[in-house]
Each structure stands twice: as C-alpha cells, then as structure tokens.
A = this chain, B = another copy of it.
Amino acid sequence: MKEKKKISNSVIKRMPRYYRYLSTLKQMGISRVSSKDLSTRMGITSSQVRQDFFSFGGNGLQGYGYDVEFLHGEIHKILGLDNIHPVIIIGAGSLGHALAKHTDFAKSGFKVVGVFDIKPELIGEKINDIEIMHLESLPEFIQNNPVDIAVLTVPENYAVEVAKMVTGLGIKALWNFSPVELNTPEDIIVENIHMIDSLIVLGYNLNER
C-alpha cells in the first residue's frame, strides 16, 4: 500500500461523508454532481471539494462536474470498503449490546464475530446469533479466528487494562468507547468515540449561544 501518494488525514476524515452523500445520489439515479452542489449540501466550500477530489484524482470534467458513480467507486476503493474486517466487542453492557445488534456496520465490511464479557450471567446469551463468551476464552478464540478490530465498551476503569490485554493478543486496532486515553504502543491504531466529550462541546456551544 505504500506506493500510493498519501491522502491527508483531514481529507480522509471527510471521505465517509462524501461517500454517504454520493450513495444517496446514486440511489436517486443522479449521475453527475458539481463541486458547488456537494459543497452546499455538506456545508463546506466548493474549493475544498475540488481540492479534496483533486488530491486523489476525482476525474472531474470541466463544465460538467463529477461522475457520481465513478466518484463513489473511487472513494469506496480508497476507504477499502471491500475489505471484510472481523470485529470483536468487549463489554456486553447496553452499549456493547447496541453495537452488536447494529447490523449496518456489516454493510461497510465490519463483521462482529464475537462478544466478550466477564459477568457470568451474560455468558452464553446470544445477540444476533453471536454468543457472549467469557473474556478468559478470548486468547483461544483469537487463535482460531482472525480478529482485526476490538471494540472496547467496558467500564472506564477496565479500559486501559483490557486494551493492554487485547493488543497483547495481537489485535492491531481498537475502537474505544471508554472516556479514557488508552496510551497504546505506536503501531496500534485507535479510534475513539468519546461520547461525553462530544456532548460537553455541544453543551459549551449551547451556553455560548
């Protein structure tokens, strides 16, 4: 993958949004779109749209715009949405349950293959055909099943410890829902969903209004 020119992180972070909107257009049977159009719907400038697409060769046509189908396909490729990533969820509380039930992730290639917890009363329960297993059986599970991503929906005071455990077992990517900094080694990829942070910023903006 290294030979590709690097797309900047800020652009990558906008990609899923572009992708979502292009999916809608595709569904509506719309075949072309201008940077102007995209920009107003997404609340950014058309300059930025063009700059973004230019960074990976969006193949626009002067006087015409961009081909929805092509652009959609390009972003699909860039984001690697064809890849299937086996995912485990650690922590089968209500949030863990909600994520396990959420079938939409599978549409983007993220397939939940296991749910783990330590509470005896949860073990054996099934969520969407996936059995909740004891965290102790995780090492064995990983030996028999490839796992790309661990979702951390454990209580905050366990998060660091569990992160250490799963990265120790070879998992390279964490999707962390606990409101803590994981401080993982460099080669571990982490994405945080710090819900409370987002809510606090919302509250701040509301206060400042």
Q: Give the B-binding residues of A (Cβ under 8 A).
A: 1, 12-13, 15-17, 19-21, 41-43, 78-81, 83, 85, 93-95, 97-99, 101-102, 104-105, 108-110, 148-149, 172-173, 175, 179-181, 183, 187, 189, 191-209
The residue in chain B whose Cβ has the minimal distance to the Cβ of A198 is B191
A21-B181, A95-B102, A189-B205 in contact; A197/B41 too (CB < 8 A)? no
Query: In the bound complex, do residue B202 and residue A189 qualify as a contact, i.e. CB atoms below 8 Å apart?
Result: yes
Query: In the bound complex, do residue A206 and residue B94 qualify as a contact, i.e. CB atoms below 8 Å apart?
Result: no
The residues of B that contact A95 with a CB separation of less than 8 Å are 98, 102
The residue in chain B whose Cβ has the minimal distance to the Cβ of A94 is B98
A148 to B202, CA, bound (A): 10
Known: A109-B203, A173-B202, A187-B209. 10 other contacts (CB 8 A): A15-B200, A17-B194, A17-B197, A41-B181, A80-B203, A93-B98, A95-B102, A189-B209, A193-B195, A193-B198
The residue in chain B whose Cβ has the minimal distance to the Cβ of A208 is B1
A179 to B21, CA, bound (A): 10
Contact partner of A110 (CB less than 8 A), chosen from B80, B194, B199, is B199
Query: In the bound complex, do residue B199 and residue A105 qualify as a contact, i.e. CB atoms below 8 Å apart?
Result: yes
The residues of B that contact A181 with a CB separation of less than 8 Å are 17, 20-21, 41-43
A21-B181, A203-B80, A207-B1 in contact; A196/B149 too (CB < 8 A)? no
Q: How many copies, total?
A: 2
A20-B180, A42-B181, A94-B102 in contact; A108/B200 too (CB < 8 A)? yes
A196-B16, A198-B175 in contact; A203/B108 too (CB < 8 A)? yes
* 7 interchain residue pairs of minimum CB distance: A16-B197, A94-B98, A80-B207, A191-B202, A98-B98, A95-B98, A189-B205
Q: What are 9 A-B interface contacts by the 8 Å CB criterion?
A: A13-B197, A17-B194, A79-B204, A80-B203, A83-B203, A97-B98, A108-B196, A149-B199, A149-B206
The residue in chain B whose Cβ has the minimal distance to the Cβ of A98 is B94
Which of A21, A43, A105, A198 is the most central at the interface, judged by chain B CB atoms within 10 Å of its CB? A198
